[in-house]
Structure 1
Amino acid sequence: MTTVDTATVLTVMFDQHRGSQYAYTPEETATLLGRVVTESTEGNRTTLVTVWDRPARSHHDEGEPQYPPTYLRVAVDPNTGWGAMTWIDLTAGDVLDTYNPTDSTDRPALMFAADTPSYFPRSASLPLERIRHALGSYADTGTRPTTVQWQQGHLVL
């Protein structure tokens, strides 16, 4: 009987200064996802998080960029305790932002991209613990987290 190795690699693409980081074990994954929710993205682009059968590479990495067909973009502000995510599925053409149905007047508008600048809608902001939980779900399954609600988003490159 032949078995197939179905191991996955978690890739986190921080900004160009911090580069890409990879996790291959549950312990490495927990540590890396901890960094995603504790290191602010304010003033930078969002952090990309992928789960794939190999490391993903951005245009900041050596070699040609390689992205899986699905991934998350994450913005966090640990100082305020809020974060937001965008689910991108290039195969299906889906671009979805997290959705928080509660009143959004007290939530910050988190920066999606600094060079534009572009912001997530306030309705996308979630407490960081919910972002952490959703990222853990994504790392475990490689699919869009069902632990949070989603709304139509827009892709900003």
Structure 2
Amino acid sequence: MIVTALLTTGVARVSRGLTESHALIEEILCLDHADWESTMAVGDVEFHTSKEGPFPNSQMRVSVSPSAGYAALNYMDHDDPDHPVVNSFNPIRPLPEVFLIFNGSTGAIFPRTAAIPISDARNALIEWLDTRSRPTCIQWRPYDRY
């Protein structure tokens, strides 16, 4: 297993195997995503090694506010005809007063309903590495255009 990540800091990282990949998840979940999201892809190759690819069919977008204790996830899977793009969903009310960056280049933020506890995001990311499909340990909602 190889995880290719572009961190909120602008640094690209590659991890190989479960131990390195779990450490990469922990690193991402500790970063304050104030201006830019982190993106991750899992596969058997490094992604985006050149302009010609290879490119992943699925990707996880992650935004975290460690001080608030919340993260938001966006999962894209071009092989899923029913739900190709979904956001994490927090059914608990009231919603947390946290604004998590969705896209640093546009300034878009996740809807507040996407903010889930960091521990839930960790579990979802680990499940994603294990299954290479949309995690089932958290709830998801279809993506709305930002």
Deviation string 1:18-50 (CA, Å, 9 cap, x unpaired) is: 1x2111122211211111101121111x21111
Residue matched to 1:95: 85
Identity, % of aligned positions: 24
Q: How does 1:62-81 map to 2 (within 5 A)?
A: 63-64=50-51, 65-81=53-69
Runs of 4+ deviating beyond 6 Å: none
- Greater Rg by CA: 1
- Cα distance in 1 for partners of 2:94, 2:55 equals 33
2:119 paired with 1:132: no
- DSSP-derived class of the 1:92 partner: coil
Residue matched to 2:97: 107
Report how far residue 148 of structure 1 moved.
0.5
Residue matched to 1:11: 4
Question: What's the TM-score once normalised by structure 2's chain length?
Answer: 0.88
2:140 paired with 1:147: no
Change (3 A) 1:16 1:90: farther
- Assess if the C-alpha contact under 8 Å between 2:88 and 2:141 holds in 1: yes
Question: What's the TM-score once normalised by structure 1's chain length?
Answer: 0.83
- Assess if the C-alpha contact under 8 Å between 1:104 and 1:123 holds in 2: no
- Cα distance in 1 for partners of 2:86, 2:96 equals 22
Count residues in correspondence: 143
- Assess if the C-alpha contact under 8 Å between 2:89 and 2:139 holds in 1: yes
Residue matched to 1:35: 27
The CA RMSD measured in Å over matched residues stands at: 1.8
- Cα distance in 2 for partners of 1:110, 1:81 equals 11
Amino acid in structure 1 at the alignment position of 2:38: T
In structure 1, the gaps of 5 or more residues are: 1-7
- Assess if the C-alpha contact under 8 Å between 1:48 and 1:72 holds in 2: yes
- Assess if the C-alpha contact under 8 Å between 2:69 and 2:117 holds in 1: yes
In structure 2, the gaps of 5 or more residues are: none
